[in-house]
Amino acid sequence: MEGVYEIGSSTLDLPLLQKLATEPHQLRLSEATKQRIETAYDYLHHKMQQSKEPVYGINTGFGSLCNVAISDDKLTQLQENLVMSHACGIGEEVPVHIVKTMLLLKVQSLSYGHSGVALSTVELLVEFYNKEVFPVVYQQGSLGASGDLAPLAHLALPLLGKGSVNYQGELREASEVLDELGLTPIKLQAKEGLALLNGTQFMSAYGVELLLKGYKQAYLADLIAAISIDAFDCNLSPFDPLVHLVRPHKGQIKTAARILEFLEGSEIAASEKSSVQDPYSFRCVPQVHGATKDALDFASKTILTEINSVTDNPNIFVGEDRIISGGNFHGQPLALALDYLGIALAELANISERRTYQLVSGLRGLPDFLVQTPGLHSGFMIPQYTAASIVSQNKQLATPASVDSIVSSNGQEDHVSMGANAATKCYRIAVNVQKVLAIELMNASQALAFREPLKTAPFLASILELYREEVPFVSEDRLLSEDIHKSVDFLRGLQIDAAELY
Give the residue numbers annotated as catalytic, written as ranges.
56
Environment class of 329 (CB within 10 Å of its CB; exposed 0-12, middle 13-18, buried 19+): buried
Specify the DSSP class assigned to residue 366: P
Q: Which residues fall within 8 angstroms of residue 99, CB to CB, at 6 or more apart?
A: 134, 135, 137, 155, 166, 205
- Residue closest to 11 by CA, chosen among 315, 309, 212: 309
Do 407 and 322 meet the contact criterion of CB atoms below 8 Å apart? Answer: no
Amino acid (one-letter) located at 225? A
Q: How many CA atoms lie within 13 A of 445 on its CB side?
A: 27
- Residue closest to 422 by CA, chosen among 200, 218, 102: 200
Q: How many CA atoms lie within 13 A of 272 on its CB side?
A: 1
CA–CA separation, 379 and 382 (whole Å) = 8
Do 491 and 430 meet the contact criterion of CB atoms below 8 Å apart? Answer: no
With residue 477 as reference, give the H or E element that holds it.
none
CA–CA separation, 208 and 46 (whole Å) = 37
CA–CA separation, 312 and 334 (whole Å) = 15
Q: Which residues fall within 8 angstroms of residue 98, CB to CB, at 6 or more apart?
A: 205, 206, 209
**Cα 270 to chain centroid, rounded:** 39
Q: Which residues fall within 8 angstroms of residue 219, CB to CB, at 6 or more apart?
A: 258, 496, 498, 501
Q: How many CA atoms lie within 13 A of 495 on its CB side?
A: 3
Sign of CA pseudo-dihedral 272, 275, 279, 283: positive
CA–CA separation, 236 and 259 (whole Å) = 9
Sign of CA pseudo-dihedral 415, 417, 420, 425: positive
Amino acid (one-letter) located at 53? E
Q: Alpha helices, DSSP H only, in 131-279? A: 149-156, 174-181, 192-197, 201-231, 241-245, 250-262, 267-270
